[in-house]
Amino acid sequence: MEAVIVLLPGDGIGPDVTACAKQVLQTVADKYDHRFTFREELTGGAAIDACGDPLPSATVDSCESSDAVLLGAVGGPRWSDPNATVRPEQGLLKLRSVLGVYANLRPVKIYDELAGASPLKPEILEGVDLLVVRELTGGIYFGEKTRDANSASDLCVYHTHEIERIVRVAARLAQGRRKKLCSVDKANVLETSRLWRDTTNHVMAAEFADIEVETLLVDAAAMHLLSRPSDFDVIVTENMFGDILTDEASMLAGSMGMLPSASLGDSTRGLYEPIHGSAPDIAGRGIANPCGAIASAALLLRHSLGLEQEATAIETAISKAIADGARTADIAARGDSRISTTEMTDAIIRGLN
Ligand code: IPM
Ligand code: MG
């Protein structure tokens, strides 16, 4: 098949890991006889430096005319002056919004060999396989903001249709898994959460009688994620709770560097990114873990291009590299030899051939 893939390397380790994911995609194209055209565009701090705008219109146009977008990471100390009016993160949020990718899928997969990399006891990690479905284009991230000398506000708004559509995405995904859905809110305090809970219960009762539904308050969910993570199948939650809970959940996998994400809307065009940030402290040192970006490329093949076999091949190659002992610094145990970003990529590519 032919496909246009936009690459948005962004900042920090973003360019390092995006290059690895591109190399893996090219290997897949060669092996399975596809033609992928890669277009590299500016976003984040790199775009601020180049043209003063974290999401230039040329980048938007390129993404909108592509089949899928793969992003590295945005942000860094150079652009994080709290009083700055232009910030790299604005580019990412605007991109999510203009692409209409309201459903952010963050699967948390545990590699048995990495159990030692997690701060949790191995017996708690046994059987963990969960998927967080985070609402991505609404809530407090996108509400009106105000600031004066002595006060500030961020408005959190949710509309019924935004909740319905994300709950449907999550419930359909649960149907293909263990048929359990946990909806996370803060309905004891927030009005938006009470709407979230009512709407979720309504959609689930009316359309998904086959799914077992659990509701948790976000504070309790944060605790249960650590005390009984293997009980969870699909978790659905609003934008900011999903942001926080997925950083927490990443520790089950040992490192944020392992985890991918897919952001989807109503079309097949999606935005794919590792869940880690720009890690400016290790940028350009060649030691970043490319697995999250490469696993994001696998999700891109699955969800935007419908290439299930190729996606599975990449995921199997990552598992094999890990099983064979390939370890970047973030997932190395004491005494393990640590390999570089490119060596990890080569190990994964060997598993594809
Ligand atoms: C994420 C990140 C972003 C978010 C930042 C960079 C704006 O933390 O993708 O989880 O908060 O959504
Ligand atoms: Mg985050």
Ligand 1: distance of its center to the CA of 132 in Å? Answer: 14
The count of C-alpha atoms lying within 13 angstroms of the C-alpha of 59, restricted to the half-sphere facing its C-beta, is 27
Read off the pLDDT of residues 139-186 as tens digits, 9 standing for 90 and up: 999 999 999 999 999 999 999 999 999 999 999 999 999 999 999 999
Q: Is the CB of 295 under 6 A from ligand 1?
A: no
Give the rounded percent of residues in the chain with a pLDDT score beyond 90. Answer: 93
Q: Is the CB of 243 under 6 A from ligand 1?
A: yes
Which residues touch 238 (CB under 8 Å, ≥6 apart)? 134, 135, 138, 139, 158, 184, 185, 192, 193, 196
Query: Quick one: tokens of 175?
Result: 């149907």
For 49-56, what is the mean pLDDT? 97
Ligand 1: distance of its center to the CA of 136 in Å? Answer: 10
For 37-63, what is the mean pLDDT? 98
Q: Is the CB of 135 under 6 A from ligand 1?
A: no
**CA–CA dist 64, 43 (Å, integer):** 14
Domain 129-251 in this protein, CATH class: alpha beta
Which residues belong to CATH 3.40.50.2300 in the chain? 129-251
Q: Which ligand is nearest to the CA of 135?
A: 1
- pLDDT at residue 115, rounded to an integer: 84
Cross-strand bridge partners of residue 4: 37
Q: Is the dihedral of CA 218, 120, 110, 227 positive or negative?
A: negative
What pLDDT band is residue 334 in, cutting at 50, 70 and 90? confident
CATH level 3 topology of 1-101+259-353: Isopropylmalate Dehydrogenase (3.40.718)
- pLDDT at residue 353, rounded to an integer: 81
| Least confident residue range of 84-88, 187-191, 346-350 | 84-88
Sheet with 129-135, edge to edge strand ranges: 35-40, 2-10, 68-73, 270-272, 262-264, 103-109, 129-135, 234-237, 180-185, 212-217
* Entry pTM: 0.96
